[in-house]
């Protein structure tokens, strides 16, 4: 039987750091509130586009796997912050890394996009459609963040990581997954101002506002991730004691705490990045996975549980059996260009652009009829 092993990994984190103290210079918030309610201390702000981060991460993952870009059959780009609507971002990565024979697709399920993309690549490998795939989780949220809304501005950051997935006869890679969507809660997280629904509604491109019901998302996310984790463990015939490491989506330390304790897994088995990076949406799980490998927390043959949720509300949990190799075969020298501005300055620039855009827009913007209202 064919399986789909994860054989390469690479992250690409922009270097500019936005601290809780930086946020409190322009919104009514403070380090104490953010730390105690979310576990976050800082997040990164990217000076380059999402696809530029993706290219660096993909090159690093390829080097790690010892795979030539020309042998890649598939690129799946998981993100909700694409450079453009058309053409897709995966094709841009294909061109930049020279993966000339790779089928290239974008997948958007918000914060779960990397894991949904991993399911797609795994299924296509296991059914023999392709042999070698790159799966990317990337977000450049800062340009469409609602920076003057303290409910959301403190929670998110930018980042990227990628993995290489390859056909193998060994029982490795995704052993099982549970995918789902709690669509009756889709209105709890919505970015207004992006998408064709805003045509002719006086929205100046780039002016985005967020609908966000944090408490409702919190509740649904915990329920959804616990149920998905239990379902995938049951499907694969494993118990919480069999799990060696949990690499969860990192939207809030309290959410992670609730999910693992209700799943019967101790916190010592959980990989955490939320304090340093905040919620990077689709990039969160692969960055945490790459750092767990860098820190030697993934042992040969380890069983890794990866639960996540995102806007939609999409939920999932994946069980991955790691292979023998937990170190890179080689390292790429791919890197981002140097950053010339501070994270705070970049955010202030975005805020200024949005203010100018808002002044050009007329009142009553952002009021399309959404599908669930028809
Ligand atoms: O990956 C998907 C996206 N992530 C999520 O959806 C996260 C899910 N939700 C959460 O993580 C939590 O609900 C939040 C962190 C967003 C909020 O935590 P909470 O404990 O549910 O706080 P709350 O919404 O009940 O707000 C408590 C208070 C409110 O003040 P009042 O009404 O009690 O006076 C808020 O206005 O905290 C206030 N508040 C803030 N204060 C300082 C909200 N945001 C802030 C802030 N700084 N940034």
Residue-level pLDDT at 373: 75
Rounded CA gap, 40 and 33, in Å? Answer: 10
Percentage of the residues of the chain whose pLDDT score is greater than 70 = 96
Per-residue CA distances from 71 to 107, 120, 239 (Å): 22, 18, 37
User: Reading across the β-sheet that carries 3-11, which strands appear in turn?
Assistant: 103-107, 74-78, 132-139, 159-168, 3-11, 173-181, 314-321, 303-310, 245-246
- Going by their DSSP bridges, the two strands 159-168 and 3-11 should be labelled as antiparallel
Percentage of the residues of the chain whose pLDDT score is greater than 90 = 89
Three-state DSSP at 361 gives: coil
126 touches ligand 1 (CB under 6 Å): no
Give which of 221, 262, 260 is closest to 243, Cα–Cα: 260
Give the dihedral of Cα atoms 162, 163, 164, 167; nearest 10 deg: -140
Which residue in 82, 132, 249, 316 is the catalytic one?
A: 249
φ, ψ for residue 105, nearest 5 deg: -140, 150
Ligand 1 atom at minimal distance to the Cα of residue 252? 11
* Angle at alpha carbon of residue 31, lines to 29 and 37, rounded to 5°: 85
Residue-level pLDDT at 359: 72
User: Which residue's alpha carbon is at the smallest distance from atom 29 of ligand 1?
Assistant: 151
251 touches ligand 1 (CB under 6 Å): yes
> Distance, CA 116 to ligand 1 centroid (Å)?
27
Residue-level pLDDT at 205: 64
CA 373 to chain centre: 28
pLDDT band at 190 (very low <50, low <70, confident <90, very high): very high
Answer yes or no: is 55 within a domain: yes
Answer yes or no: is 232 within a domain: yes
CB neighbour class for 196 (10 Å; exposed up to 12, middle 13-18, buried from 19): exposed
> Distance, CA 238 to ligand 1 centroid (Å)?
35
Answer yes or no: is 247 within a domain: yes
**Using one digit for the tens of pLDDT, what is the confidence trace for 221-256?**
999 999 999 999 999 999 999 999 999 999 999 999
CB neighbour class for 135 (10 Å; exposed up to 12, middle 13-18, buried from 19): buried
Answer yes or no: is 330 within a domain: no
26 touches ligand 1 (CB under 6 Å): no
Residue-level pLDDT at 362: 57
Ligand 1 atom at minimal distance to the Cα of residue 151? 44
> Distance, CA 60 to ligand 1 centroid (Å)?
36
Answer yes or no: is 27 within a domain: yes
Which residue in 12, 111, 160, 316 is the catalytic one?
A: 111
Q: What is the mean pLDDT of the chain?
A: 95
Give which of 37, 39, 34, 38 is closest to 20, Cα–Cα: 34
264 touches ligand 1 (CB under 6 Å): no
Residue-level pLDDT at 366: 57
Helix, strand, coil % in the chain, rounded to nearest 5: 40, 20, 35
CA 161 to chain centre: 8
Rounded CA gap, 209 and 368, in Å? Answer: 13
The count of structural domains within the chain is 1
- Going by their DSSP bridges, the two strands 132-139 and 74-78 should be labelled as parallel
pLDDT band at 202 (very low <50, low <70, confident <90, very high): low
Mean pLDDT across the stretch 117-136? 98
Rounded CA gap, 130 and 229, in Å? Answer: 28
**Using one digit for the tens of pLDDT, what is the confidence trace for 289-332?**
999 999 999 999 999 999 999 999 999 999 999 999 999 999 99
User: Which residue's alpha carbon is at the smallest distance from atom 43 of ligand 1?
Assistant: 151
Mean pLDDT across the stretch 75-81? 97
Residue span of the structural domain in which 88 resides:
3-325+335-372
User: Is cis: bond before 87, omega within 30 of 0?
Assistant: yes
Three-state DSSP at 371 gives: helix
Handedness of CA 116, 189, 17, 40 (dihedral sign): negative
121 with 133: CB under 8 angstroms? yes
Q: Is 318 a catalytic residue?
A: no
Looking up residue 162, the CATH number of its domain turns out to be: 3.40.47.10
Mean pLDDT across the stretch 27-54? 98
Ligand 1 atom at minimal distance to the Cα of residue 221? 8
111 touches ligand 1 (CB under 6 Å): yes
**Using one digit for the tens of pLDDT, what is the confidence trace for 47-65?**
999 999 999 999 999 999 9
37 touches ligand 1 (CB under 6 Å): yes
Sequence-ordered alpha helix ranges (H) in the chain: 20-23, 31-38, 50-65, 89-97, 113-126, 150-153, 214-236, 253-262, 274-277, 284-294, 343-360
pLDDT surpassing 60 at residue 350: yes
Give which of 139, 143, 164 is closest to 52, Cα–Cα: 139
Q: Is 111 a catalytic residue?
A: yes
Q: What is the CA radius of gyration of the chain?
A: 20
> Distance, CA 103 to ligand 1 centroid (Å)?
41
Give which of 289, 237, 249, 243 is closest to 6, Cα–Cα: 289
pLDDT surpassing 80 at residue 368: no
Ligand 1 atom at minimal distance to the Cα of residue 153? 48
Mean pLDDT across the stretch 101-106? 98
Mean pLDDT across the stretch 53-81? 98
Task: Please name the residue that has the structure tokens 């991955």.
Answer: 320
Q: Is 20 a catalytic residue?
A: no
């Amino acid at each position: 039987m064919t399986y789909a092993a994860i054989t390469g990994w690479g992250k690409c984190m922009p270097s500019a750091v936005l601290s809780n103290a930086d946020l409190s210079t322009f919104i009514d918030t403070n380090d104490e509130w953010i730390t105690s309610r979310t576990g976050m201390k800082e997040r990164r702000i990217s000076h380059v586009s999402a696809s530029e981060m993706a290219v660096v991460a993909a090159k690093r993952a390829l080097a790690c796997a010892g795979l030539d870009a020309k042998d890649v059959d598939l690129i799946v780009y998981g993100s909700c912050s694409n450079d453009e609507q058309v053409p897709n971002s995966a094709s841009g990565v294909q061109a930049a890394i020279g993966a000339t024979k790779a089928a290239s697709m974008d997948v958007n399920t918000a914060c779960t996009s990397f894991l949904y993309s991993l399911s797609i690549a795994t299924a296509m490998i296991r059914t023999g459609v392709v042999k070698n795939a790159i799966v990317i989780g990337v977000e450049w949220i800062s340009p469409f963040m609602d920076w003057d809304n303290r409910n959301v501005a403190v929670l998110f950051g930018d980042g990227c990581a990628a993995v290489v997935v390859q056909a193998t006869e060994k029982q490795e890679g995704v052993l099982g997954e549970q995918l789902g969507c709690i669509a009756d809660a889709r209105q709890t997280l919505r970015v207004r101002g992006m998408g064709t629904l805003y045509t002719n509604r006086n929205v100046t491109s780039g002016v985005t506002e967020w609908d966000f019901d944090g408490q409702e998302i919190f509740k649904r996310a915990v329920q959804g991730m616990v149920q998905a984790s239990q379902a995938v463990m049951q499907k694969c015939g494993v118990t919480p004691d069999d799990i060696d490491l949990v690499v969860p989506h990192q939207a809030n330390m309290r959410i992670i705490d609730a999910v693992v304790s209700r799943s019967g897994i101790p916190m010592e088995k959980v990989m955490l990045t939320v304090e340093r990076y905040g919620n990077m949406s689709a990039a969160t799980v692969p960055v945490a996975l790459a750092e767990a490998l860098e820190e030697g927390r993934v042992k040969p043959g380890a069983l890794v549980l990866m639960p996540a949720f995102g806007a939609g509300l999409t939920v999932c949990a994946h069980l991955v059996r790691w292979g023998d190799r937990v170190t890179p075969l080689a390292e790429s020298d791919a890197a981002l260009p140097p950053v010339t501005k501070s994270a705070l300055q970049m955010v202030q620039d975005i805020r200024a652009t949005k203010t100018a855009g808002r002044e050009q827009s007329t009142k009553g913007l952002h009021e399309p009829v959404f599908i669930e209202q028809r």
